[in-house]
Amino acid sequence: MSSRRNFIKTTGLIGASALLTPANAINQLPEVTAQKIKPPALKAGDTVAITSPAGAVWDADQIETFSTILKSFGFTVVTGKTLKEKFGYFAGTDELRANELNEFFADKKIKGIFCMKGGWGCARILDKLDYKMIEKNPKVLIGFSDISALLLAITAKTGLITFHGPVGNSGWNDFTKNVFTNVVMNNKKFNFPENPANEDKPVLINSGKVSGELVGGNLTVLSALIGSVYLPAWKNKILFLEEAKEEPYSIDRMLTQLKLSGVLNSISGFVFGKCAKCLAEEPLKAFTFHEVIMQHIKPLGIPAFYGAMIGHIENKLTVPLGILATLDADKGIIFLEENCVQ
C-alpha cells in the first residue's frame, strides 16, 4: 500500500519510471510467443506455500492469520523462510527471495504459491528467476500491488496464467473468497460479479464492448517496467490497472509514460479498478483523478471504464493475466471467456 509507494519514491524508481521511452520502443522488444499455460486448479487437500518476494513481514501474527485463512479452504500450508527474514525493507536478500520462489515452483508437492505482502522488491529478482523451470512446473501464483512485477514477467516469459488477487495481509471477506474460489478452484468459466451494493458503481469512459486477453496490475509497478523484457506485447490486450495513495499528478505522469511508450495506443480495452485515496494535497490547484483518467483514456476511443473491484480494497477480484475476456464498458463488467485453470 503506502509502503510500496514510499519505498519506490525513496529508491528513486518513480524518477526512473518517468524516463520516457520512444513511442516505437515497445515494438523494438522481442514479442513473447509462449503458448498459454493454465495451472492445475487448486483443491482441498493441496499443499500451498506462502512466500514474501518483496517487503519484510514486520507483524508475525499476520502469518498465522493468513495460514488459518488458507487452511479454511482445505489447504495444507508451507511457510517460506522469507516470512521471517529482514534485509532492510526486504524479506531477505534478492538471492534468498528469488531462490525461494524458484524452489517453490520446482517442488512438485506444492500446488499453489501465495504472497504474504507487497511493498517493493519484486522487480529486483526478475532476472534471477528460472523461467524455463517455471514453465515446466505450472501452478497458481497469486498476489497484487508490487507482486504485479512477478505476474507480468512470468506470464510474459512463460505463458503461464497468473492471478492478480489478495495477498496475506489484505482482506479476505466473503466477496473476495467467493471470487478467488471461482477463479482458481473451479475449472469452468466465471463472470465477475457486479460491484457490491455498498461500493461505488463503475464510471463509463467510452461506451462499447471488446474482447482480448487481460493483462495489467499496479500502475506504478507496471510503468517502472516499461522498456524491459518483462512486459507483454500490448496489441489487442485489455489493460487493467489499480493504484493507491498517489496524487492525480502522479497518475497523470505514469499514464503519460504509458502513452509515450506506445502502450495506450496498442490496447483494445481499458479498465481502471480503484484508485484508493488518490486525492490531491491541494485540490484547488490540481486535477481530480476523474479528470486525469478522462484526459488520457477518453481520446483513445476504446471501450473503457473505471471503478472495478480491483486494487487496495476489501472487496477484491482475483483477475487472471493472459485469459481471454470481454469488457462491457456500459455495464462496467468483465466477462471471462474461458476457464483460468485446468
* 197-244 pLDDT, tens digit each: 999 999 999 999 999 999 999 999 999 999 999 999 999 999 999 999
CA distance 331 to 318: 19
Identify the pLDDT of residue 123: 98
What are the helix (H) ranges across 86-203?
A: 94-106, 131-136, 148-158, 174-184
CA distance 318 to 332: 16
Q: Choose among 302, 248, 243: nearest CA to 275.
A: 243
Q: In the Cβ-directed half-sphere of 128, how many Cα atoms lie within 13 Å? A: 17
CA distance 84 to 95: 15
Are residues 117 and 54 in contact, defined by beta-carbon separation less than 8 angstroms?
Answer: yes
pLDDT < 50 stretches in the chain: 1-33
CA distance 235 to 268: 7
Q: Choose among 4, 12, 10, 23: nearest CA to 121.
A: 4
Identify the pLDDT of residue 34: 67
Helix (H, G, I), strand (E, B) or coil at 83: helix
The sign one gets for the Cα dihedral 234, 33, 164, 245 is negative
Phi then psi for residue 15, to 5 deg, are: -65, -40
Domains of the chain with CATH codes: 47-184 (3.40.50.10740), 191-336 (3.50.30.60)
CA distance 50 to 113: 6
Identify the pLDDT of residue 152: 98
Identify the pLDDT of residue 168: 97
Q: Choose among 146, 140, 78: nearest CA to 105.
A: 140
Q: Choose among 121, 114, 149: nearest CA to 56.
A: 121
Identify the pLDDT of residue 4: 46
Strand order in the sheet with 237-244: 203-206, 304-306, 269-276, 237-244, 209-218, 324-328, 333-336
Identify the pLDDT of residue 259: 98
Active-site positions?
145, 242, 312
- For residues 83-97, b (16+ Cβ closer than 10 Å) or e, as one string? bebeeebbbbebebb
**What does DSSP say about strands 319-321 and 162-164: parallel, antiparallel, or unpaired?**
antiparallel
DSSP assignments along 15-67, one per residue = HHHTSPPPTTHHHHSPPP-PPPBPPPPP-TT-EEEEE-SSB----THHHHHHH
Are residues 210 and 237 in contact, defined by beta-carbon separation less than 8 angstroms?
Answer: no
CA distance 269 to 118: 27
